[in-house]
């Protein structure tokens, strides 16, 4: 994500001047070891209520409630209909996307 500072601001001891460009890496927003135990490990049971997946403050996603409900329905239905669903390969071998505005995987090989 690219942004331009509208006014001078200091963050973590660094001064960013008005007009200077910033490049922000969204994919690291939920990987703060001070906020999340073992942040680089995929843990679907993690109780992480203070993540920034749907933005924050005035930039918070209006559709987050719908997205959460859809995911609950989809995953519940998927695992009920295909209970033997599992990965074909080790998690370490799944190619993750780090090159775009949306974080995810390039492919997710599964079997049942």
Q: What is the pLDDT of residues 7-20, one digit of tens each?
A: 999 988 999 999 99
Contact 47, 36 (CB under 8 A): no
| Three-class DSSP labels, the chain | CEEECCCCEEECCEEECCCCEEECCHHHCCCCCCCCCCCCCCCCCCCCCCCCCCCCHHHCCCCHHHHHHHHHHHHHHHHHHCCCCEECCCHHHCCEECCCCCCEECCCCEEC
- Per-domain residue ranges of the chain: 2-83
The model carries a pTM of 0.50
CA gap 2, 4 in Å, rounded: 7
Q: What is the pLDDT of residues 17-61, one digit of tens each?
A: 999 998 877 667 778 888 788 888 877 777 777 777 777 777 778
């Amino acid at each position: 994500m690219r942004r331009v500072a509208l006014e001078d601001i200091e963050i973590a001891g660094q001064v960013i001047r008005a007009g200077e460009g910033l490049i922000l890496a969204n994919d690291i927003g939920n990987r703060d070891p001070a906020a999340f135990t073992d942040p680089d490990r995929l843990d679907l049971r993690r109780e992480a209520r203070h993540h920034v997946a749907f933005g924050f403050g005035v930039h918070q996603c209006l559709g987050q409630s719908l997205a959460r409900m859809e995911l609950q329905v989809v995953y519940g239905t998927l695992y009920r209909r295909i209970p033997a669903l599992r990965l074909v390969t080790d998690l370490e071998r799944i190619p993750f996307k780090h090159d775009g505005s949306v974080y995810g995987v390039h492919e997710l090989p599964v079997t049942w």
